[in-house]
Amino acid sequence: MESKTKKAILFIVTLNEIGGAQRFLASLISNLNLEKYDITAAAGDNSTGDFLKLFENPIKTYLIKNLKRDPNLFSDIRAIFEIRQLIKKSGAEVVFLNSSKAGFIGSLAAPKNVKVIYRIGGWSFNDPWPKWKKWLWVRLEKISAKWKDVIIVNNKHDFDQAQKLKIKPRGRLALIHNGLDVYKTELLQKDEARMKLFEKIAKYSGKVFQAKYIIGSIANFYPTKGLKYLIEAARNFKDRDDILFLIIGGGEERESLREQIQKAGLQNKVFLAGQLENGSKYLSAFDIFVLPSVKEGFPWALIEAMSAKLPVIATNVGAVPEIIENGKNGFMVEPGNSDQIAEKIKTILADDRLRLELGIQAHQTVLFKFPLDKMARQIEDLLGPEAINPQS
């Protein structure tokens, strides 16, 4: 007979897709002791998503049908009641919320006797939005902070913003970097990965392409990812037959990115490979990885590329300055500056020794500075020995 019952934890994320918040959750849950915790993972209704498919018994999963990314008064109200019922059904002592919408709706739904932890991968008010929308999300974060016991941010920039804007939870604000187990990173062999991607390009374009160098990125096609600036940078390499640009991912900007490629005459230079299952395993096909985001928290794609020993170019946003030592383990450029991206690509391609050294240093950075077990241990410490009633 067990001397101690398991602590019930309900993890909630807004969308059922594979993005940064979902990668964080998958990594964290895989490192929790299932003899200590009874875990339920839930996500908003996204019929095209695969996040909940990552989990097997004994982890229970639930699709929150009324939790949507875009605001909708009627579905949002229904989502509150749906989450409240799920908390009751799961017996959750801790509700662990991820991403802005789930953070607001979930903390509003949580009873007072349940501990609420909110982990944000990047404040929504840093998105490239109109001023009124940024102001609204600042207000929503400040209001809902009073319903949360712990708020976790994953980079110092967001930590400092929370303090400046007085986003104060009932308990504490914590800074915890993302972590990755480099020994569990699944990569295809370079030749196999390149062959599969070239086959994808041939299917997409109807033409057979080869290239000595592949400049790549993996991202959801959202405005915050700044992919249009990577495409703009590719214009500097129109005359280089030995270089291709390839972006793995999908999302709402796919059509506008495709139109940008056509208007720039880059149909034979830049390719959108679409969503690929476990897309990070194709990193080995790349020769340089570019993260052109205009807003980030702590980018998983970046540390995955670094763990794959790739030279990386990333914009100076979010946690990137905490990850990249410019010129040592990668290069930083300013967000929205396609010329700087192109310049750093040229620098790396011109020096094989530099390319190799950047990749080695990148791998070492993830291995020693951002290990997964450190992240999981810090998160578990916040769960506490018991779920507390903050009102008691």
Domains and CATH numbers, the chain: 7-179+372-383 (3.40.50.2000), 182-369 (3.40.50.2000)
What is residue 1's predicted lDDT score, i.e. its pLDDT? 36
Average pLDDT, integer, range 84-97: 97
42-51, 235-244, 378-387, range with the lowest pLDDT: 378-387
End-to-end CA distance of the chain: 31
What is residue 47's predicted lDDT score, i.e. its pLDDT? 63
Q: For 104-148, write each residue's pLDDT tens digit.
A: 999 999 999 999 999 999 999 998 889 999 999 999 999 999 999
Q: For 62-74, write each residue's pLDDT tens digit.
A: 999 999 988 889 9
What is residue 70's predicted lDDT score, i.e. its pLDDT? 87
Per-residue pLDDT band for 5 (boundaries 50, 70, 90) equals confident
Whole-number mean pLDDT of the chain?
92
d(CA 194, CA 211): 10
* CB-based contact 147:116 (threshold 8 Å): yes
Q: The tokens of 157 are what? A: 């920039």
* CB-based contact 332:316 (threshold 8 Å): yes
Q: Is the pTM of this model over 0.85?
A: yes
Average pLDDT, integer, range 310-331: 97
49-53, 165-169, 224-228, range with the lowest pLDDT: 49-53
258: enclosing H helix or E strand:
helix 254-263
What is residue 391's predicted lDDT score, i.e. its pLDDT? 40
